[in-house]
Amino acid sequence: MNSGGIQSKQAFCISLLPDRRLTGKSLEKQTANCFYRVQWPNPCLKFISFENGVLTLRSTSNDESYTLQLHVRQQKLLVACNCGNDKKTICKHAYWTLNDIHWKFGETYFTKFTAHGMMELAFKYPMHFDKQESNAGINVFPRVELKSIYQLAPATPMPDIETILKLPEPIVKANSLPSPMFPLSAQIPGGKAMVYLIMIAYRYDQLPSVIPVTGQPTVKGNTIKAFDSFTSGLQKANTTSLNNEQKILQEKCLRLYKLTEKIGGELLTDKLFSKHLDELSAIFQEWAELYLMLQAQPFVFTHMLFNKKQLRQKPKRNYWLQVMLSASVPVLSFVVTDKGDHYRFTMQAHIDGVLLENFETNTPLFITQCSELIFRLGCLRDACLVEWINRSGDRITIFKEHFEAFQKEVLEPLQRHYTISFA
């Protein structure tokens, strides 16, 4: 075999899409002149080797076998068969082999064959990939512990880091928080208390909002044993029994709820970024003010929001959790850890200079610890980065072959605003 792969003149050439996909429609179109399409049914493909980017398969049908070589070079798929075909048209062995591969592995299969692509790295670093041989040849998959793999298998689309970094700096600095505006009064007539439920939407349908409801405190008065329905908190009219501060809070909650209701809950979608940046900024500002007030409230809970029907009922025990709101704003930084054949990219958070261990990133606009301690992120920019890290499984793997690109796309821009340490 030639060390540079298959030469163009030795092979039939099929154009791939810019992202190296081969659609069934495109295969049909490019092989339309092939006159022996129906004569090589159901080939059995045996994997022979993968060397220098060339996949060699044995293709067998009706007791006849041929050796096929497939090589992706730039946007072309070169296909060679040892049947002696003149290469001007595709031979039936190659056509039916490609058709079979497309049927069994899908149109993205050949995206794995680029230089430094999944197939190459699977053979170079076998401990990080699973290889599956079958009568369709071979397929490779990264091991789950790698989580999101830069360029090879990102768990979420790569966000535009430069655009995120153009978002404003923290609105409220950690050391400039004014003291809470409101006293600890949660009491309302009838022995009940005001409770503020931070609604966390399931599947990121909506950004977190707050619904105030009334509840029955326990005898000790440190928590709530029973809640009234959500509806009272979402109706402006029902404020007669509240004191002035509680009314202001109620109005702020209602305003925030309405703002969050209008847009989705994923910060990094194009839609939110391009069309709703003003609304996002307004939500962030509302949260900044509301959070400060809620810090002084004794009864703040989180509650899962699955659908709007829930709001016609009472809060449910399995979905609520009493929480504490920290006054400290997390300072985010990043760590690049050298793991030998790859790097691991993770996020860190410091609270008043102390590293926050085991924090969670699954609540938009916040980070949490043990779900019970809440930290509001200092700016929308931080919130976007936290969402990206969360969707990446809290860890991004970068094989050394892709590190230069990662440095340029991610580390260099990030470094202008965040500390990045190398371990």
- Beta carbon nearer to Zn ion, 91 or 386: 91
- Beta carbon nearer to Zn ion, 69 or 297: 69
State the nearest-atom distance from the C-beta of 133 to Zn ion, in Å. Answer: 22
Measured CA to CA, the distance from residue 312 to residue 314 in angstroms comes to 7
* Contact (CB, 8 A) for 288 and 281: no
Parallel, antiparallel, or unpaired for β 12-15 and 76-81? antiparallel
State the nearest-atom distance from the C-beta of 69 to Zn ion, in Å. Answer: 11
* Contact (CB, 8 A) for 288 and 256: no
Among 81, 290, 332, 385, binds Zn ion (CB under 5 A): 81
End-to-end Cα distance, the chain: 42
State the nearest-atom distance from the C-beta of 58 to Zn ion, in Å. Answer: 12
State the nearest-atom distance from the C-beta of 80 to Zn ion, in Å. Answer: 9
Using CB under 5 A as the binding rule, whether residue 91 contacts Zn ion is answered as yes
State the nearest-atom distance from the C-beta of 411 to Zn ion, in Å. Answer: 47
Q: How many residues bind Zn ion (CB under 5 A)?
A: 5
12-15 sheet: strands from edge to edge: 12-15, 76-81, 64-73, 54-61, 44-51
State how far the alpha carbon of 351 is from the alpha carbons of 311, 328, 375, 377, in Å: 35, 6, 9, 11
Enclosing H/E stretch for 214: strand 209-217
Type of residue numbered 123: F
- Beta carbon nearer to Zn ion, 91 or 356: 91
Using CB under 5 A as the binding rule, whether residue 83 contacts Zn ion is answered as yes
Using CB under 5 A as the binding rule, whether residue 34 contacts Zn ion is answered as no
- Beta carbon nearer to Zn ion, 94 or 259: 94
Among 93, 128, 303, 342, binds Zn ion (CB under 5 A): 93
Measured CA to CA, the distance from residue 73 to residue 53 in angstroms comes to 9
State the nearest-atom distance from the C-beta of 92 to Zn ion, in Å. Answer: 7
Q: Tokens 């190296």 appear where?
A: 20
Q: Where are the beta strands (DSSP E) in 240-338?
A: 300-305, 320-322, 324-325, 331-338
- Beta carbon nearer to Zn ion, 69 or 390: 69
Using CB under 5 A as the binding rule, whether residue 118 contacts Zn ion is answered as no
Which one of 88-96, 200-208, 337-345, 404-412 is the stretch in contact with Zn ion (CB under 5 A)?
A: 88-96
Using CB under 5 A as the binding rule, whether residue 70 contacts Zn ion is answered as no
Which one of 15-23, 75-83, 220-228, 306-314 is the stretch in contact with Zn ion (CB under 5 A)?
A: 75-83
Strand partners, 396: 148, 345
State the nearest-atom distance from the C-beta of 358 to Zn ion, in Å. Answer: 58
- Beta carbon nearer to Zn ion, 80 or 213: 80
Which one of 8-16, 84-92, 295-303, 380-388 is the stretch in contact with Zn ion (CB under 5 A)?
A: 84-92
- Beta carbon nearer to Zn ion, 46 or 93: 93
Which one of 81-89, 219-227, 321-329, 335-343 is the stretch in contact with Zn ion (CB under 5 A)?
A: 81-89
Which one of 43-51, 70-78, 79-87, 321-329 is the stretch in contact with Zn ion (CB under 5 A)?
A: 79-87
- Beta carbon nearer to Zn ion, 57 or 272: 57
Q: Give me 7's structure tokens.
A: 């030469």
Which one of 86-94, 146-154, 278-286, 358-366 is the stretch in contact with Zn ion (CB under 5 A)?
A: 86-94
Let me know how long the chain is: 423
Q: Among positive and negative, which fits the CA dihedral 84, 87, 91, 97?
A: positive
Parallel, antiparallel, or unpaired for β 342-351 and 354-355? antiparallel
Residues 133-152 that bind Zn ion (CB under 5 A): none
Long-range pairs, 46-49, Cβ under 8 A, ≥24: 46/135, 46/137, 47/133, 47/137, 47/138
State the nearest-atom distance from the C-beta of 84 to Zn ion, in Å. Answer: 8
State the nearest-atom distance from the C-beta of 97 to Zn ion, in Å. Answer: 9
- Beta carbon nearer to Zn ion, 73 or 93: 93
Measured CA to CA, the distance from residue 389 to residue 381 in angstroms comes to 13
Q: Give me 39's structure tokens.
A: 């004569």
Chain residues in the site for Zn ion (CB under 5 A): 81, 83, 85, 91, 93
